[in-house]
Every structure is written in structure tokens, then in C-alpha cells.
Structure 1
């Protein structure tokens, strides 16, 4: 349906240089870049808290040849990055977009770190997910977000998206990858004990005056750092504001019709609109875009990520990616059903699958995958064989549980009895009893464990190669030898958690060029419309080459979108909207 809005009306609407829809890392990167270049920016968030999926992510970015890598002596050739991405992505490799990512990633991060609170450090060791492929590396591409003091946000700290309880310790304490390793080693390392004591002291002081810890890590630190600068630069942040439709004038995007409270009004953009609303993984049509296993699937994407960007862009014939290697970024997820009817989801990314004394089996009691491979690869294994491996079970013995935990279950001395009572964590005194409780073939499970234990004694896994790559070993326990990922499961009681297929967000999105300008179905740029983050069709084609391959491109193309808008506004005066604007109210999303 078409409607008309006239600037001569009583409520002609506000005008900005840039309107950014979505408050994740890509959206904030665009907002910060534009505001630092003197542009007037509106940042629109649909929910009551800002940060989106980025705020509950690991916060890492994967980029080529950053300042941090160069300072550490890792000056890698661009062709090495291209070789690696060609090997991982395969037929979906897109040279113009990959070149833009490689050529401007360092530039984007340098600009944001120079002009904002953003601060990253190089991971001293962080192998690519396929380190043995041509161009793969052990370090140099993955960067870790530096921790941040949430008090710097002032009154806006309360509006920062809170991570799920399963990602917090002691009801509100954030930890990063390094902190987790220290907690796992607390009984074996004085250095780790001291590190943890300092964290606990800071947290105890925070709780005297705050509902959760103000020491922010991972994705919360990333968003808080960008938000602090955006707000200081005068970016207007609208929470609980819903974009209803794009405003179009002569084929150019001129603004957005936005509902806020009880009022719907036009808001105009002199330079352009950036779509960064997180994709469609939580939308009603997401199920049609993934393999059907006949069982539950859990997305870690926030419930508001229902495909609004694609819905809005459909009004001007925007192209959507097709034939990706995967339409989502996969991760195995366990689900705790609480007494109040709510469900807590836990993504099994780094804390348990790769550890020694932990294996995954299907309902037939057989292993089916290298448990230490990336979360994306793990779920690909669950989808294999017609989905016969979904759901599956993650199994460990008491020694592994005490040392590493399992999903929401914490290591010793934490009491996990509530999880057992809730049915999330199964506990049994024998493998046969565990198999019965889980509905697993008991005889096959016994055979699987016998074979696995015999191999683990020698530190090898001839069936699936657990612990055979640098990335596998990096994810294991560095203090356990000879293989950081392998140890027999022998010490009763035994434990199990059911894993379902899940995702971290959608990969299929709006087709763009190297400036993040959205393209129409004839491959022509749509004037005034940009996309970044999960709203943009994955430059990785739905593959997962390394840690931070969504946030790295998100920051890069958010920066490029704002840079292109600023350049166009500077080079040619863009007239403010006049006369009648044609507001296209679009149909529901059908990705």
C-alpha cells in the first residue's frame, strides 16, 4: 500500500544526515564513523535495550593485517588471506566484497580506535578454524576486545543489553576467554587463583551499588565502548522505536517512517539509511531456511531479529542472497526449561566440547563428529546423515565435570543439583543407567566408550581426529598431555546434556557492493540505502573461517557505509526532502 507524507503537514518530521537502524556492532560502527565526521545521526533500536546480538557475543573480530598484528610482527600478505578464504568459502567466494574487507578492515578498525573508545588486543595464539588449509594461520587475525568499565556509560548503563544468565557467573559477573581459563585452572595455578580473587573482589564491590558487575568483557565491552563515543558525539539513540517503512523519493531512500510510543512519524535522512537490524534468525520464516531434522532448533539471535531489514528493503526491489553454503552461522545449543515456563539457551562454543573427558554421541550411542572442531562444523555434523545426529548428547565423567563443567553446569565446587532436578543435566552411576535415562542405545554406548578410552590413553582419535589440529588443541586443556583434547571417561558418576542444532544468527541477507550500498535485483545500487552486519549477505557465504568473522566484517562495512555517505554529502550537496514523499508500506518478510 502506498501513502503520501507532505512536508507541508503539521508534523513534517525530523531530518538527520544519517539514520542507522539497529544498535549492534555494525550499526554503532556506522553511527560512530558518521558522527566523528560531523554528521547528524539517529540510531534506532526496536527493543528496550541497545546492543543486539553483538552485546551477547564473544566480541572478537577477525581482520587482515591490523595495527595490532603488525606490532606483534605478524605482517601477513593479502594474498595469503585470499588463498585461505578461497579454500574455506569455495564456489561462493565473492572477489569484490572480499577485497573490500581485506583492503579496508585495518583502516576501519584504526579509524574507530583512533576516534572512539574502541580498543582491541591481538590474541597471542588463536588459530583459524581450518589452520591446515592454504593460507591458514595460528595467530595474527583474531583480536580480543579489551575489558571496559561500564560506569563510563553513566545513566545509559542500564540500557545496555544484559547477557543471558548462563553467560554470567554469580548472577551478574562477566568473564572473557582468558578469565574462563583462569577459573578452570584456579586449583592448579597460583597465578590463576590471584586473577580470580581480583575479579571476585571487583564484582563484590560492584554489587553494592549496581544490579550486575560493571566490569564489561566480550560483546558487552564492544558495544559499551562504541556507545560511549556515539552518545558523547551527540548521536540520538531511540529505544523501543519501530521502523515501519522506508521513505522513497524518485527511487532514492530519503528516510524512514518510525513508530515510537503512540506516534508514527517520518524521519528524513539527507545522506542515507543504514540497515543493521540483525537479520532474520528469530523470524517465523527462519525454519524454512535451514535443514529440517524433525527436532527442536534454538537460535541465540534476539527475538526482535525477525527480518525487518529485508522487509523494508523489499519495497524497492532489493536483492537477497541465494545459494549460500549455509543460511545461518551454526552453533550447538542446550536448553534449560525453568519452572516459570521460560527457557534459558546456552551455546556450546568454547567451554566444554573440546575438553579432555568429553564426547558427543547420537541416539544410537555413536560418535559422529570431531568434538573439538568449531561450533559451525559441529552442527554441520548434526545435520549430516539426514539429521540422524540431532539432537545429540554431550557426555563426560565426574572428573571432567569437576574440572571444566558442562554447558550451564559449573566446575567444582559449584553445586549443580538444581540442573539435575530440572532435567537439564543427567547424572548416572553407570553408563547403562545414563543410556537408559537419555534414550541412547546402551550396548553401542559401551562399545563407543571402550574404543574411545583405548585410543585416548594413547592421545589419538583415529575415527574423527579430535585434538589433531592446532585449533583443536587450542580449544582443549593446555595443561593436559599428551593431547589437550583427549582423556578416557572412566570415573563415575557420568553426566550428559542434550544438544540441539542452533545458530548465532542469519548469514543470508541483502546483496551489497564494496561500499555496503544495497543492490537491487538488476545489480544496480539503490541510492541512499546501505546494509551491514547480519543484515548484509555474508561475505563468507555462510561459512565460518575463524573467530569474529561476523563482527570483523560488521565493523568494516558499517564504517564503509558511513564513509560513503559522508563522502557523497561532502562532494555534492544533497537537497533536503521537499514536496511529497512516497512512503511504501511493505509486506511481511519472505526471505
Structure 2
């Protein structure tokens, strides 16, 4: 590619949390940093996320008096991830993530709060924490970004202007009709909304708050971020990556980077050809909530120069539904509330519905066959559930919009047998499944799948329901069903890296000058999802590691 040349020390491809953290760390180390972003918006999939950051033994845990250690976290990752990712990379993450989040909290606008009680996803495994290890960004006034606010990637589902809440508050909001804490949370959120309107603030929450805080930190340091600047290829000289080729304002430009290139360009969730090639079937690009720009550009650029890839068949899966005229809805809390089950096309339960969302979709795919379809499957619930809990965008007891019924998004029937006929399920099978579940619910024990035994299950349960916060009979007509697809937050396969985030070739050599972080890389979490924020936490940590290695602060033998 011909064209003009721009010189810097380090160039980062992608403007999610991993890329922004890399830029801030590079600047801290005395390097000139530049971020290039393919789309018209900055923030990537991070801006569309819940914003959780999984950081074991972090300083906010310590302040809260929750004990943790490197050794406990190491044991937990061994028990969950196992050997599916390199031990050296897991150790590097656990070591440097602690320093990274503390540095951001002290030196930048990235202010976080500890998510006390948001358990690890497998808290009963060795080293697991029922109290949780995640932090989340504090709410943020987007007006502090000035004109740059308009270029922040919008959330998946727009919220009313000024409405803002934390992940913990969202969980409590789902129990607004069931607990005094839920009612108090709703009141607090309402008062915050009024205050925002009176003060003129534009409150950002979750992933947008994290990106907003990172963006403000970049602005204060004068770190440039170029939008509408897609990566075209990597530039190699004498076996080393020395820059990238991009299109800027529609014109070719070569960006030379003396210290290195960091690929933080996200996953390939929006690339149908790649998904069909590498992933389980059935699959589509229509079920993901990943950023529209996530078409695998960075992964493909690495592969063209011999980079190894791994985990391409995996994603950050989650049971999702497809509301009419709306993006997919990624279901987290709804599966924990008592009185909802999931059934396959034969009307059978097949998993603990309250388990980690990745685990639930992995079960869908593992059990899926042409003779016994599990992708898609169905949520089944009743009027008691509708009266008491949030489901997708519907508040407890809210009248279901006619569009949801007319489109078939929500199926409704006066009997389970009639509901089954609508779903093309044998009525006797669904009736028997619900009857068996109801007996278990009344006893407070899910003898089939152990729902409610884990502290993670109970986090999204209803504490007013005893003896099991995740179980209640499905017996109050009318009955409802919603189709469930294998949605995701993004794919998790990509370029293979070492503990310094350096990209490796198919024969194990280091590609000098090339780093890769976030969903552009093969996840350090392997095929599992140990806790909330295990996407963003490693993206930020390895962005920090990559920048410091490029600056010569983190040394290696190679």
C-alpha cells in the first residue's frame, strides 16, 4: 500500500478497554501512543458490556476485608481453566492485573467499586470465592467528555436519558416486587434520575462508564484516537513488525511504530464465514451482541504472517432471545429467578438453568443433535413469574406489548398442553417435565441438576423464596414460552500469545514487535468463564503488560 507515513512509538488497533489501557500504560512508560479504530465509534464490545472486571486479590477486595491471594486465585484457575491456557500466561495475568487496576485507580479517572457478593462462577471449586473477585466502574457523567461523548459506542439496549444503575443495583431492581432492598434500589435509581435531569448530567453506566473513564484519561494525556481508520495489514521489515497500514479519511497511510504494534481489534463474532468455518453448528452472526466492527480483521492480519490461532470454536456464550425489532437479549438474571426452566425440543430439562451462561450454552451445543434439538430451545415460565420478576425489557407485572405476542417472541397459552402444541413439543412430555420440576421445587431440591446449590446460582435468586431461592413451581396460568438461541458476548478464539502478550507463530516462535490482547487473542481463560469480567479483566491486564514490555519495563529472555 502506498501513501503517506506517520511515526509513533506504539500503535494500538482497537479502542476497547484493552486497547485504551495499553495506550495509557505506554504513555505512563514514556512512549508516544496512538489508537486507531475501524468504526465511527470508540469503545468496542466493552462499551456494550456490563463493565465487570475480574481481578483476583485487588485492592478494593482488600479494603472490603475479603481475603484473597495469588495462590488461591492460581488454584481456582487451575480448577476451572486447567491446562487449556498456558500456566505462564495465567500467572502473568494474576500478577500484573493487581498492579494494573491499582495504578488506574490511583493515576487515572478509572474509578471502580468492588462487586461484593457477585460470586465467582464456580465458587465451590478449590480457590473459588463466594464473595466474588470482580470490580465495576463507578457511574460516570458523560458530559465530561465534551464533543467526544457523541462518538462513544451506544449500548445494546438504549436506556432513558439519565437512568443509570450498577450491576448490583440491576440485580436488586429485578426483585423490586419481592424484597425491601429491591424497592429501596428502585427508589434510589429514581432519585438519581431526577438529580441527573436537574443537574444536566448525562450519566453513563457499566461498560459505557468504563470506556468513558478511559477516554477521559486519554484526553487528559493528549493520546490521539483516530476513528474511521480500519486496519489493512501489518508492516514487516527484517522479520519484525514495524507498523501497520490503514485507511484514514479513505486514503492509505502507513503508521510506523518503533516499539511495537498492539492488536486489540476484537473478535470475529460478526464474520459469518469465519463462524461457519470454526464454530459449532447451528451458528449465525445474528445472535451476538458483540460490536459491529468485530469481523476478525486483527486475527486475519496475524494469520497472514504465520501467527498461530487457538480456541476458535469457543465464545463467551450466553442464552439469548430475539425480541422483535431489537438486538438479541443476553439473559443473565432471569435464569436465576425461581419459576423459569429451559427445555429442549422434546420438552425436557437438560441443565441447571441458573448456572454460568457459558456453561448453559455449552450444554445446549453438547447435547444438540438433529433428532434432539437443543439449539434453539425454550424458556418456560408462568404468570406468577411474570408478576414478580423482570424478564428482558419487561418489568414485573407489565402488560406484554402486543408486538411481542404477534411476532411470536412470547408464546402464551392457558394450559401447558396448548403451549407445547404451539412449540411443536409433545404435550405429555412438557407436562411431565413441569410436573417433575414442580415436585422438586416444593421440596426445595433440584435432584436432576442441583440448581440453587451454588452461591453463584443464589446470587440471582429470590431470597424471599425458601428453602431454595432458585426454585418455585410453574403452576399459575397462563403459561409462557420464549425461544432461546446460542447467543454470545463475542468469540474468544484468536492469536496465540505468550505471557507478555507477544504473538507466536504456528511453530512456536515469537513474532517480534507484535502484541495481541483481548478477544483478538486466544483467551487466557481457555474454554470456560471463571467469573464476571473475565473478558475485560484479561484484556486490560495484557494491554498493560504489552505496553510495558514494548517500553522495556517488563523484560523477557527472548
TM-score of the superposed pair, with normalisation by structure 2:
0.93
CA distance, structure 2, for counterparts of residue 42 and residue 94 of structure 1? 30
Partner of 1:180: 170
Post-superposition offset of 1:369: 0.7
Partner of 1:88: 80
Partner of 2:305: 316
CA distance, structure 1, for counterparts of residue 27 and residue 114 of structure 2? 27
CA RMSD of aligned residues (A): 2.4
Match runs of 1:77-226 below 5 Å: 77-165=69-157, 168-170=158-160, 173-188=163-178, 192-203=182-193, 214-226=202-214
Post-superposition offset of 1:443: 0.8
Counterpart secondary structure, 1:299: coil
CA distance, structure 2, for counterparts of residue 407 and residue 107 of structure 1? 37
In the alignment, is the contact (CA less than 8 A) between 2:263 and 2:515 conserved in 1?
A: yes
Match runs of 1:19-418 below 5 Å: 19-165=11-157, 168-170=158-160, 173-188=163-178, 192-203=182-193, 214-283=202-271, 284-293=273-282, 298-321=287-310, 327-338=314-325, 343-349=326-332, 351-387=333-369, 388-413=373-398, 415-418=400-403
Runs of 5+ consecutive residues of structure 2 not aligned to the other structure: none
Post-superposition offset of 1:330: 1.1
Higher mean Cα deviation, 184-193 or 58-67? 184-193
Q: 1:294 to 1:310 in 2, by over 3 A?
A: closer
In the alignment, is the contact (CA less than 8 A) between 2:342 and 2:349 conserved in 1?
A: yes
Q: 1:110 to 1:422 in 2, by over 3 A?
A: same
CA distance, structure 2, for counterparts of residue 266 and residue 457 of structure 1? 67
Post-superposition offset of 1:278: 0.7
Partner of 1:431: 416
Counterpart secondary structure, 1:14: strand
Q: 1:368 to 1:297 in 2, by over 3 A?
A: farther
CA distance, structure 2, for counterparts of residue 365 and residue 488 of structure 1? 16
CA distance, structure 2, for counterparts of residue 205 and residue 147 of structure 1? 13
Higher mean Cα deviation, 258-267 or 25-34? 258-267
Partner of 2:439: 454
Q: 1:552 to 1:295 in 2, by over 3 A?
A: closer
Counterpart secondary structure, 2:154: coil
Post-superposition offset of 1:77: 3.0
Report the number of matched residues. Answer: 552
Partner of 2:502: 517
In the alignment, is the contact (CA less than 8 A) between 2:37 and 2:227 conserved in 1?
A: yes
CA distance, structure 1, for counterparts of residue 224 and residue 197 of structure 2? 30
Partner of 1:588: none
Q: 1:214 to 1:546 in 2, by over 3 A?
A: same
Higher mean Cα deviation, 361-370 or 143-152? 143-152
Partner of 1:585: none
CA distance, structure 1, for counterparts of residue 61 and residue 542 of structure 2? 20
CA distance, structure 2, for counterparts of residue 104 and residue 422 of structure 1? 49
Deviation per CA, 1:116-169, whole angstroms, max 9, x where unpaired? 11122222212221122122121252222221111111111111111122xx44
Post-superposition offset of 1:406: 2.4
CA distance, structure 1, for counterparts of residue 277 and residue 395 of structure 2? 35
CA distance, structure 2, for counterparts of residue 345 and residue 91 of structure 1? 33
In the alignment, is the contact (CA less than 8 A) between 1:36 and 1:233 conserved in 2?
A: no
Counterpart secondary structure, 1:298: coil
In the alignment, is the contact (CA less than 8 A) between 1:295 and 1:390 conserved in 2?
A: no
Post-superposition offset of 1:102: 1.2
Q: 1:155 to 1:205 in 2, by over 3 A?
A: farther
Post-superposition offset of 1:179: 2.4
Deviation per CA, 1:2-44, whole angstroms, max 9, x where unpaired? x5x5xxxxx6422111111001110111011112333222111
Q: 1:466 to 1:329 in 2, by over 3 A?
A: same
Post-superposition offset of 1:115: 1.8
CA distance, structure 1, for counterparts of residue 266 and residue 246 of structure 2? 18
Counterpart secondary structure, 2:233: strand
Counterpart secondary structure, 1:102: helix
